[in-house]
Homo-oligomer: A and B are copies of this chain.
């Protein structure tokens, strides 16, 4: 749960004089990563320009602003309720990190305010991608000064300030630092599919807290699908009465989310996927469809035939009313119409629609969908909304103020840009695929080798991480979104050359804990699930087991499980997190060791200890599985733990002594690894590649 803010922590007292140290020439973030005589750069995303004040300070201690229970703030120019609330939340989170002495009497501590916030104005009444999000932050030993043109910019600066708090044995402090920051991309989003599985309001609020912490600014709310219609319509109540299994957001809840997001500098773009992916609409309103029905909430996943009938005026009349209703709830300039994966089957199979196409000279179903989009566009314009949709909507007939979200990839996005369309990238940022943070981090919406002109490049506004929910529920979603989305957020905010993967993982580990402090359950979910699955609090062996596993890929799981919407998502695979921290840590360790075994005796000892924990865990894991059928699914995996551990111990034994492998050893061990690499029981090992490197590093037997 979220830590609660005490508004009274935000004391608008008079502000003592601050001594501002001018920023040094901007160092690249890379040059300031790691320790720097007191300053440890754990910022995520990395700011555009950062310089430390060390050169002007005789000692690190003097270049520190102490953070005490009296830490307070003043806004000296513009103030509004949104800014006040944001400052209050930040102070609250900063103070939660403070080490206090006992007895403590914070209320009696009357030191002056330490943070001055200078904001020029409120910013846009309806936040858009033109909002000025820049800020600067100057911290000296006597105070911090945050400046921003807008409240949203100030919020980003506050998020940075929170990340700057460090503690050591002398107490809590913020290092003297000068930051000038602005995002590289203006559209930095997270899409959550709340239709295939319903996601609770409470979980969405936590997601918004996490987004704000890493400076994401668009929550794309996927609200309708074949598997469910998730928002109340007063004009068309049967949309949820018959199409949601009772799992939907009231209009009041939707407004609550919009307000909560705006309070955190986040826009809310609702998506109503049309004309396909619409089975759930048709359960209550079959007249919208291109086939006679009856329709049902689709339980399976994939692409289905039901599609809106674009030939009838009644369809547009319905959508006019519906979109008018939604436009009143969602103030954002954009409304997402989906537009993807219409297979055209029902259009081809309906003689009346075929006649219509001939009459209107629409040569194929793509042309008919374009016809539909043109009509939809007019409805959107009537209600003051601009259109955004997936790749498929892009046809030359649409005006240039629409936007494309690319699930197909960079080429599709570039084609749009060459034709003058703005776009954002989502291919490469699909969180449901169970890829690594490093893989997402490597995807750039505007790669250095792009052949787009500067004008065309300016049309690429950013990107969105996408959390599709076929295999995820409210319970596991935090662990699928976080912390990997923080790496994507950095890709979208920070400079193109911020690409050091090891440094990203170093900072991601810190950010992950900060996100947990906000109330996100991406770490605790695994432990709680292992307790539930095993029926005991003694899960140390299961944690060792889980530390070397992650879920198989999305496609592998879909292929292995044939799950539908009713399949429980409380299994062992759901307890595991994608790209667990142990994966990268183990890779680093094995990599350092194989470079030069003789020089890394400490790493060798760590590796040996790790392998022994695997071997020691196996019997206890098997014992727990014997009476826990939900765990027992993974028994074949558990039975490989000892083999892998033994293999590792043998490899370091060879490498430590320098002696060549015995005949046949390598082939046998690589076969073990090949076997262990096969997806099984919905989970896969995270340690195969480093183990393979260890085995391969062992010298081959001599030929004599």
8 A Cβ contacts from A245-295 to B: 245-247
CB of A242, distance to nearest CB on chain B (Å): 12
- Interface check A96, CB cutoff 8 A: yes
Contact A563 B168, CB 8 Å, known A516-B528, A517-B532: no
Instruction: Flag if B4 contacts A247 (CB, 8 Å).
Output: yes
Instruction: Flag if A630 contacts B167 (CB, 8 Å).
Output: yes
Secondary structure call for the A interface: loop
- Interface check A394, CB cutoff 8 A: no
**Which range holds the interface residue count of chain A?**
35 or more
Among residues of B, the one whose C-beta sits closest to the C-beta of A517 is B532
Cα distance, A529 to B75, chains bound together (Å): 32
Instruction: Flag if A168 contacts B3 (CB, 8 Å).
Output: no
Cα distance, A413 to B537, chains bound together (Å): 39
Question: Please, which residues of chain B bring their CB within 8 A of the CB of A571?
Answer: 100
8 A Cβ contacts from A506-527 to B: 509-510, 512-513, 516-517, 521, 523-524, 527
Q: Scan A1-29; emit 1 where CB is below 8 A from any B CB, else 0.
A: 11110111100000000000000000000
Instruction: Flag if A566 contacts B106 (CB, 8 Å).
Output: yes
- Interface check A95, CB cutoff 8 A: yes
8 A Cβ contacts from A41-84 to B: 69
- Interface check A99, CB cutoff 8 A: yes
Cα distance, A546 to B566, chains bound together (Å): 40
Instruction: Flag if A198 contacts B4 (CB, 8 Å).
Output: yes
Instruction: Flag if B245 contacts A1 (CB, 8 Å).
Output: no
CB of A576, distance to nearest CB on chain B (Å): 15
Instruction: Flag if B245 contacts A7 (CB, 8 Å).
Output: yes
Question: Please, which residues of chain B bring their CB within 8 A of the CB of A342?
Answer: none
Instruction: Flag if B516 contacts A633 (CB, 8 Å).
Output: no
Contact A107 B564, CB 8 Å, known A528-B516, A532-B516: yes
CB of A390, distance to nearest CB on chain B (Å): 27
Question: Please, which residues of chain B bring their CB within 8 A of the CB of A299?
Answer: 107
- Interface check A682, CB cutoff 8 A: yes
Of the stretches A621-629, A659-667, A686-694, the one at the interface is A621-629
Among residues of B, the one whose C-beta sits closest to the C-beta of A562 is B103
- Interface check A612, CB cutoff 8 A: no
Question: Please, which residues of chain B bring their CB within 8 A of the CB of A203?
Answer: 1
Question: Please, which residues of chain B bring their CB within 8 A of the CB of A701?
Answer: none
Q: Scan A631-656; emit 1 where CB is below 8 A from any B CB, else 0.
A: 01100000000000000000000000
- Interface check A105, CB cutoff 8 A: yes
Cα distance, A626 to B168, chains bound together (Å): 7
Question: Please, which residues of chain B bring their CB within 8 A of the CB of A632?
Answer: 99, 169
Cα distance, A7 to B242, chains bound together (Å): 12
Cα distance, A632 to B99, chains bound together (Å): 9
Cα distance, A186 to B416, chains bound together (Å): 69
Contact A633 B102, CB 8 Å, known A96-B568, A474-B3, A527-B524: yes
Cα distance, A581 to B3, chains bound together (Å): 26
Instruction: Flag if A627 contacts B1 (CB, 8 Å).
Output: no
Q: Give this chain's copy count.
A: 2
CB of A322, distance to nearest CB on chain B (Å): 24
Instruction: Flag if B245 contacts A8 (CB, 8 Å).
Output: yes
Question: Please, which residues of chain B bring their CB within 8 A of the CB of A535?
Answer: 510, 513
Instruction: Flag if B537 contacts A531 (CB, 8 Å).
Output: no
CB of A233, distance to nearest CB on chain B (Å): 19
Q: Which of B104, B168, B536 contacts A567 (CB 8 A)?
A: B104
Question: Please, which residues of chain B bring their CB within 8 A of the CB of A473?
Answer: 3-4
Question: Please, which residues of chain B bring their CB within 8 A of the CB of A536?
Answer: 509, 513
Instruction: Flag if B513 contacts A532 (CB, 8 Å).
Output: yes
Contact A626 B523, CB 8 Å, known A563-B103, A633-B102: no
Cα distance, A571 to B513, chains bound together (Å): 16
Instruction: Flag if B99 contacts A629 (CB, 8 Å).
Output: yes
Instruction: Flag if A247 contacts B7 (CB, 8 Å).
Output: yes
Cα distance, A8 to B246, chains bound together (Å): 9
Cα distance, A377 to B3, chains bound together (Å): 39
Q: Scan A402-413; emit 1 where CB is below 8 A from any B CB, else 0.
A: 000000000000
Question: Please, which residues of chain B bring their CB within 8 A of the CB of A168?
Answer: 627, 629
Q: Which of B104, B513, B531, B629 contacts A169 (CB 8 A)?
A: B629
CB of A64, distance to nearest CB on chain B (Å): 14
- Interface check A395, CB cutoff 8 A: no
Question: Please, which residues of chain B bring their CB within 8 A of the CB of A563?
Answer: 103-104
Cα distance, A473 to B202, chains bound together (Å): 18
- Interface check A475, CB cutoff 8 A: yes
Instruction: Flag if A561 contacts B103 (CB, 8 Å).
Output: yes
**A3, A510, A629: most-surrounded residue (chain B CB, <10 A):** A629
Question: Please, which residues of chain B bring their CB within 8 A of the CB of A517?
Answer: 532
8 A Cβ contacts from A536-577 to B: 536-537, 540, 560-564, 566-568, 570-571
Contact A513 B531, CB 8 Å, known A1-B521, A105-B562, A567-B104: yes
- Interface check A350, CB cutoff 8 A: no
Q: Which of B98, B102, B247 contacts A682 (CB 8 A)?
A: B102
- Interface check A240, CB cutoff 8 A: no
Q: Which of B1, B97, B106, B630 contacts A475 (CB 8 A)?
A: B1
Instruction: Flag if B523 contacts A627 (CB, 8 Å).
Output: no
Instruction: Flag if B568 contacts A100 (CB, 8 Å).
Output: yes
- Interface check A314, CB cutoff 8 A: no
- Interface check A172, CB cutoff 8 A: yes
8 A Cβ contacts from A196-239 to B: 197-198, 200, 202-203
Cα distance, A95 to B570, chains bound together (Å): 10
Instruction: Flag if A3 contacts B475 (CB, 8 Å).
Output: yes
Instruction: Flag if B171 contacts A629 (CB, 8 Å).
Output: yes
Question: Please, which residues of chain B bring their CB within 8 A of the CB of A103?
Answer: 560-563
CB of A424, distance to nearest CB on chain B (Å): 29
20 A-B pairs within 8 Å (CB atoms) are namely A1-B203, A1-B521, A2-B474, A3-B475, A3-B570, A4-B474, A4-B475, A6-B247, A96-B568, A98-B630, A99-B628, A100-B567, A103-B561, A104-B561, A167-B628, A167-B629, A167-B630, A523-B531, A524-B528, A527-B527
Closest 8 CB pairs of A and B: A99-B629, A103-B562, A524-B524, A99-B630, A7-B246, A107-B566, A96-B570, A106-B566
